[in-house]
Structure 1
Amino acid sequence: MPNLRSSFRLAPFRLALALAVCAGGSGLAIQPARLHAAEDGAAPYWASLAKDQTNMRVGPGREYRINWTYVRKGLPVKVLRVMGGWRLVEDPAGARGWMLAQFLSRARSGLVKGEVAPMRANRDGSGPVLWRVAPGVQGVLGDCRDGWCAFDVTGRKGFVAQDAIWGAGTP
């Protein structure tokens, strides 16, 4: 009679071998399941709110009370810690709490901070001022290089100084 313990240890390898043989004969490749976008990588990282309404809780679980309810899809947040399906996040005002990963997206967004920020025509910050972006205005954040970031506010595109945008740079 085979040893039950060794059978359990070998079961995953047997399953993997069977799947590889089946896939090999049909020309199919087995791919690992793709993680939710907000689960890729280790903290800290930038994310944005993926839903129109998102709750921030005081702890990593549904049994913890709701501290804030956000109603601003696309708001940038900084993910500070990962715990299972929960993320410890910080919002632009500095509030910290826990959100479910499914309510976050890795789509980059930014929020203008401080003072009115000029949106310029050229990537190096030169060229005419196309728009003046008020503090609190949210937009889609593109590549940041040499202190300037591509920024799109509802179709109005240009380049804004990286230090004027919360959500740009190293989290």
Structure 2
Amino acid sequence: MQTEVTEVSGFASLRPAVSAILMGLALAVPSTGFVGPAAAAPSGTIGPSGLPLPRFVSLKSGKVNSRIGPGVNYPVDWLYLKPGLPMEIIQEYDNWRRVRDADGAEGWINQSLLSGARTAITAPWQRGKPAQINLLAKPEEGARTVAIIDPGVIGSIKQCNGQWCEMSFSGTKGWLNQSQLWGAYPGESIED
């Protein structure tokens, strides 16, 4: 049986595939324009933490303030309401990380609110368009579809081989082409 995954009020739900219902996902308040189909590949820079820049992480909690500068004395510019939301760290300063979201919004978040758990958003650049993304049983074109995923849905990355990522959406597992995700760089390999 095929399953459809749709983002409803910030929570992914599974239901039998009857028709594609496209709903927008509120990632942040307010919102800006999209970054595009894929984030740029890492430049190979090492940050003060000893970790590469840029790199993807995710939000630990469901209420995270993003500030205009690296410290609590800077005003809050964004409020993120979705735990597990992928973020791209682009700069580091002390315990603060400058991040970018899938819409291109940037701000500073304390590292204690970020997790190394890898998540990704399915084709956020297609939100609101009549599109569907097939979650496949195997990492190959033409493989059996196990679920239909709407654009803008967040899933957990299990592994990526540089072209395909094994993902989990509310317990439904399958493979997506890396080009359909924001949260993994093109060509990036991720081990479980």
Does the pair score TM above 0.5? yes
Which residue of structure 1 lines up, in the alignment, with residue 164 of structure 2?
148
Matching of residues 11-160 of structure 1 within 5 Å? 41-113=51-123, 114=126, 115-160=131-176
Give the unaligned 5+ runs of structure 2.
1-48
Question: Which is bigger in relative contact order (C-alpha 8 A, separation at least 6)?
Answer: 2
Which residue of structure 2 lines up, in the alignment, with residue 21 of structure 1?
none
Which residue of structure 1 lines up, in the alignment, with residue 178 of structure 2?
162
Query: Is the CA contact (8 Å cut-off) linking 1:125 and 1:159 kept in structure 2?
Result: no
- Relative to its length, the structure with more helix (as a share) is 1
Superposed CA RMSD in Å reads 1.5
Query: Is the CA contact (8 Å cut-off) linking 1:118 and 1:130 kept in structure 2?
Result: yes
Distance 1:163 1:143 in 2: 14
**Structure number with larger C-alpha Rg:** 1
Distance 1:75 1:59 in 2: 20
Q: Secondary structure at the match of 1:102?
A: helix
Q: Which amino acid aligns with 2:146?
A: L
Query: Is the CA contact (8 Å cut-off) linking 1:76 and 1:111 kept in structure 2?
Result: yes
Task: Report how far residue 126 of structure 1 moved.
Answer: 4.0
Q: Which amino acid aligns with 1:121?
A: A
- Quick one: percent identity of the two aligned structures? 31
What is the count of residue pairs matched by the alignment? 133
Distance 2:50 2:150 in 1: 32
Distance 2:94 2:138 in 1: 42
Please give the TM-score of this superposition, normalised by the length of structure 2: 0.66
Task: Report how far residue 146 of structure 1 moved.
Answer: 4.5
Q: Which amino acid aligns with 2:84?
A: G
